[in-house]
A and B are shown apart, each in its own frame.
Chain A
Amino acid sequence: MIWSKRSILFPSVSADTRILWLLRIASGMAAGLVLLILFFLFAESLPLLWKVQTGRFITDTSWHPVEGAYNLAPMLSGTLYAAGGALFLATPLGIASALFVAYYASPRLGGIYLRLVELLAGIPSVVYGFWGLTTLVPLINELHPPGASLLAGILVLTLMILPTIALTAHAALRALPVEYLHSAAALGMSRWGIIRGVVLPAARMGITAGIILAAGRAIGETMAVLMVTGNVVQYASTVYDPIRTLAANIALEMPYALGDHRAALFVTGLALMLLVIALWSAAARIGRN
């Protein structure tokens, strides 16, 4: 951009104010969009929220919206189990592969590995779902029927969020000043000692950001999860039990829902949105400390 170059030589107020307003409008639009979505979700759920006490969404006997039962709690637990399980598996794997690429692999091998991980990030989620449905679910079924289960959901989600964690962690490691490594090496620290004592604490913020990003994706992921988790509304007592997530609930029933059923699905969306907001604010608090 030419005028930004000129403004360095001849600081002009007009160019700066212009770009300031441009940025203000852009960020205002992004923020307004989120508020609009929240407002829209709320407005669509309102007909049911008037009619049904809010507490019933977690105390009703079951989720049978056509018969007037609206319990969302099992799906909330399903969402948290699936996303939590995937994070539990993907976080150490992702950080480990980022460390491997950055500090252990030869540049050539590291490059190839990084390309592969990027490829993994680019695969559409429905492809993961299809693979899960035709390969993973029958495999788990041999182990413990019915196959479509929380475990299948966790494994598919792990594959999907692993690249996010690995790539952001790798970027965070790359961003570290080389002097840190050189000084630590000059102190005679071992490679693992440097990683544990210097690299990981210094790159903590970047890695955490990646994990939060991954958590958001795991909670919101719909198609792949819908195809492999069995979608039965219940609390899972083992990882072999089928579960339904909030996002899958919306995708599964929305095309056919009318009236209160439809409103109940918007309440599901609202619950999902609140869950994500809670996650982000918790993350922001952790980040500040």
Chain B
Amino acid sequence: MKLARLVIVVGTIIFGAGLGWSPMGNAATQKLVLTGASTIAPLAGEISRRFESRHPGTRIDVQAGGSSRGVSDLRKGTADIGMVSRDLKPEEKGLHAYAIALDGVGIIVNASNPVGMLHRWQLIDIYTGKIVNWKEVGGTNSPITVVHKAEGRSTLELFLGYLNLKNSQVKPHVVIGDNAQGIKTVAGNRNAIGYVSIGAAAYEAGRGTPIKLLPLDGVAATAVNVRIGTFPLSRPLNLVTRSVPEGLAREFIEFARSSEVHDLVEAQYFVPISIR
């Protein structure tokens, strides 16, 4: 029974390593659960790490799953704070939203693409399949690869709202999940066009990934323009609660909006809210 012993030993090691890796939860006296937008989750994770180190005995759990998930978890009571990367919808107005940062959604193309800007109607025609070649908008003679997001994402809702389109009108060539996949797709395809969070795109472009952000309605896709509110495709990153926050939730939200976390917000290429 060498095999059985081997299986048991290996299994124990893996399981033990897993146990050792995960922090012991019992020591924490107070716990806060955040769920929602995958755009906010990394930032919220950084903020909660700093918050935890300043408030020993607290534990903040951050789970990504989309803005709508954040709202529904909040309603069901499985989360203390929801992360919502857009303005609240009319049917969500009973909730309390506290913006911790701003983010823009930018159009990206490959760095080798000669096209320097696109009008809104050109974007509409590209995304609905009426314009299929870059030469029709001043580029080289090559077919456009339209990169689109999967249904349900708030970046997609924001983008479609800006172009005033329904999702079924869009004729994509590639459908992606998260920002990172979108950036890799555009970086690897000279004729691709996509839309991702400006924060993520600027970060990758700064590290040498061959993509570039196009201006929208003549406004450059930069953090500054998002901050002063001239960039048309921008959104608040909100922490949302069911009622007026109290206790730990209130402390955390105040901390997340304070200047103490500006460096964290800027490190993710978002725009801090309190500078405004």
Residues of A within 8 A of B (CB): 1, 62, 64-67, 69, 133-134, 137-138, 141, 145-148, 226-227, 230-233, 242, 244, 251-253, 255-258, 261
Q: Which 4 pairs of residues, A with B, have the shortest CB-CB distance?
A: A256-B152, A256-B66, A231-B175, A146-B145
A-B contact sample (11 more), CB < 8 A, given A147-B189, A255-B152, A257-B152: A138-B189, A145-B145, A146-B191, A146-B192, A147-B145, A232-B174, A256-B66, A256-B69, A256-B153, A257-B151, A258-B68
Q: How far is the CB of B64 from chain A (nearest CB, A)?
A: 7
Q: Which residues of A contact B64 (CB under 8 A)?
A: 255
B185 at interface (Cβ–Cβ under 8 A)?
yes
B163-196 CB mask vs A (1 if < 8 Å, else 0) is 0001110001111110001001100111110000
Q: Give the residues in chain B near A261, CB-CB below 8 Å.
A: 151-152
A231 contacts B167, C-beta separation under 8 Å: no
Interface: B78 (CB within 8 A) = no
Tally of contacts, chain A with chain B, CB under 8 A = 95
Q: Which chain A positions have C-beta within 8 A of B177? A: 226, 251-252
- Which B-chain residue is minimally distant from A251 (CB atoms)? B177
B215 within 8 A of A: no
When chains A and B are docked, how far (Å) is the Cα of A1 from the Cα of B168? Answer: 63
CB pair A256–B68 under 8 Å, yes or no, is yes
Distance in angstroms from A182 CB to nearest chain B CB is 30
Q: Mark B126-146, 1 if CB is under 8 A from A, else 0.
A: 000000000000000011010
Q: List 11 A-B contacts (CB under 8 A).
A: A66-B152, A137-B185, A138-B188, A230-B173, A231-B174, A233-B175, A253-B151, A256-B66, A256-B150, A258-B69, A261-B151
Complex: how many Å from CA A252 to CA B151?
Answer: 9
On chain B, the residues within 8 Å of A141 by CB distance are 145, 188-191
Complex partner residue of A67 from B68, B166, B181, CB under 8 angstroms: B166
CA distance A89 to B1 in the complex (A): 38
- Complex CA–CA separation, A244 to B189 (angstroms): 19
Pair A232/B188 contact, Cβ less than 8 Å: no
B48 interface residue, CB < 8 Å from A?
A: no
Residue of A whose beta carbon sits closest to that of B178: A255
CB <8 Å contact, B167 and A67: yes
Chain A residues, CB < 8 A from B145: 141, 145-147
The minimal Cβ–Cβ distance linking A224 to chain B, given in whole angstroms, is 12
Restricting to B56-70, which residues have a CB under 8 Å from any CB of A? Answer: 64-66, 68-69
Please, how many angstroms separate the alpha-carbon atoms of A148 and B38 in the complex?
Answer: 24
**Are A66's CB and B192's CB within 8 A?**
no
The residue among A65, A233, A258 with the most chain B CB atoms within 10 A of its own CB is: A258
Q: Using A1-B1, A255-B65 as known contacts, say yes or no to A232 and B172 having CB atoms under 8 A apart.
A: yes
B174, A146: Cβ atoms closer than 8 Å: yes
Closest chain A residue to B171, Cβ basis: A232
Q: Contact: A148 with B150, CB < 8 Å?
A: no
Distance of A143 from chain B, by nearest CB (Å)? 12
Instruction: List A contacts of B274 (CB < 8 A).
Output: none
Chain B hits for A227, CB < 8 A: 181
Indicate whether A148 sits within 8 Å of B173 (C-beta atoms), given known contacts A69-B168, A134-B188: yes
- Minimum distance in angstroms from A79 CB to a CB of chain B: 16
Partner of A133, one of B68, B184, B191: B184
Task: Give bound CA distance, A253 to B150, whole Å.
Answer: 6
In whole angstroms, what is the CA distance A134 to B209 when docked?
A: 12
Q: Return the chain B residue nearest A230 by Cβ.
A: B174
Question: B112 contacts which chain A residues (CB < 8 A)?
Answer: none
Q: Which among B68, B188, B190 has the greatest number of chain A C-beta atoms within 10 A?
A: B188
Cβ contacts under 8 Å, A244 to chain B: 175
Hey, which chain A residues are within 8 Å of B174, CB to CB? 146, 148, 230-232, 242
How far is B188's CA from A258's CA once the two chains are assembled, in angstroms?
32
Does B72 count as interface, using CB distance less than 8 angstroms?
A: yes
Residues of A within 8 A of B172 (CB): 232
Closest to A261 in B: B152
Cα–Cα, bound, A232→B78 (Å): 34
Decide: B189 and A252 in contact? CB cutoff 8 A: no
CB distance from B12 to the nearest CB of A (A): 18
Please tell me which one of the listed residues A66, A69, A146, A251 contacts residue B189 in the complex, with CB atoms under 8 A apart.
A146
Known interface pairs A230-B174, A230-B175, A231-B175; A64-B151 also in contact (CB < 8 Å) = yes
Q: Which residues of chain B from 34 to 68 have a CB within 8 Å of any chain A CB?
A: 38, 64-66, 68
